[in-house]
Amino acid sequence: MTATTVTSSRAKSSASLSHRLAERGISARLLLLVPALVFAIGLFVYPFLYGLGLTFQPLPATQAQWGGGLFANYLAFFRDAFTFDSVWITMRLALPVALFNVLISIPIAFKLRNKFRGKRTLQALLVLPITLGTVLTAQGLLIFAGRQGWLNRFLIDSGIIDQPLQLVNNYLGVMFSLIISGFPFAYLLISSYLSGIDPSLEAAARTLGANWKQRFLRVTLPLLAPGIATTFILTFVLAFSVFPSARLVGDASGETRVLALMAYRSFAEQLDYAMASTIAIMMGMVELIVVAIVLLGRSLLYKGSTGGKG
């Protein structure tokens, strides 16, 4: 009895304390995390918590109008139709845009998987909008698709239409802008997920008698699905937080009165920091809900490696 305890304690103490700590991941190397932690706390955690605190300090006017004490801002957010509607307005923009970007990226990424002449040029063209920035895209859209833009002038001069098409300063304008800036991200992500799928899997499915539809639905799609979910989340979040283009090529007081614009209005026009913070927090909440739903769906799918062996 005693003998065994002695041997076991001896076996334990044969390694030094620092060595045993290091085996559990505790060593001086953890100090390398310090700069990152400083930045994360200083630039994200603290401002976020500060903003969250602000939401519970409503202006007296808000409290008087909506009641609810500390929660007056949240009551205002849900009860004020003008504010709450903008959740749907934003959703109506972000969901179709994210879906479109993902769905259009899949066939394009598929086609560009093969080698052909001019592939690099085409890829560069597809990814180029990343470098443009929202303002330049908006400017371009206004010039190209505005009432006096090239497109309308061409269509009218060639007699196809009599009245200029209303393509900017409304829902469509923002949607175009979001597609232009969101597509490169979706395409890059999807094509990198696609390149992770071993092409011999499709060859195997072919020799087993699967036609292209069956190959896509039963082999490629299930393996690509987690990538599609991730891509959808990223493009959705990008589109949901739209701000400049909603103002520049949208209808800022009507159809494209998105949440970011509402927060900006509270903050810059009404000087109501508390309400602005509340809107920002709620924006995050809505995004989190959508992300959670997508991730839940993703967790039901296959998540392992997609390459087979070798």
Partner 1 sequence: MSLSASAFESLEMKEVGRRFGGRDALVDLNLTIRAGEFIALLGPSGCGKSTALNCLAGLIPLTYGEILIDGQRIDLLPSEKRDFGMVFQNYALFPHLTVEKNIGFGLQMRNLPKDEIFRRVAEGLALVKLEEHAKKLPGQLSGGQQQRVAIARAVVLEPRLVLMDEPLSNLDAKLRLEMRAEIRRLHQSLGLTTVYVTHDQEEALSLADRLVVLREGRVQQIGTPEELHNSPVNWHVADFMGYRNLIDVQVESISGKLARVTGGGLSLNATLVQPATTGDAVRLAIRPSDLLVGSSATSTEANNKFDALVNVVEYHGREFSIGVTTTMGHNLFVQAEVAPAPGEKVTLSVDPARALLYHSELEAMSSEQRELAEVRG
Angle between helices 171-195 and 119-127 (to 10 degrees): 140
Q: Least distance in Å: CB of 218 to partner 1?
A: 8
Tell me the C-alpha distance between 280 and 52, whole Å: 9
- Min dist CB 203 to partner 1, Å, is 5
Cβ nearer to partner 1, comparing 42 with 307: 307
At its nearest, how many Å lie between partner 1 and the CB of residue 9?
Answer: 38
Q: Which is closer to partner 1, CB of 8 or CB of 305?
A: 305
Residue 62 Cα distances to 81, 150, 272, 274, angstroms: 15, 47, 9, 10
Q: Which is nearer to partner 1, 74 or 216 (CB)?
A: 216
CB of 121 to partner 1, least distance (A): 20
Q: Give the span between the Cα atoms of 179 and 98, in whole angstroms.
A: 8
In whole angstroms, the minimum distance from the beta carbon of 209 to partner 1 comes to 4
Q: Which of 229, 239, 273, 247 is nearest to 57 (CA)?
A: 273
Whose Cβ is closer to partner 1: residue 159's or residue 304's?
A: 304
Residues within the interface to partner 1 (CB under 8 A): 198, 200-201, 203-211, 214, 218-219, 222-223, 302, 304-310
Closer of 75 and 197 to partner 1 (Cβ): 197
> CA-to-CA distance for 278 and 182, rounded, in angstroms?
27
Three-class SS of residue 13? helix
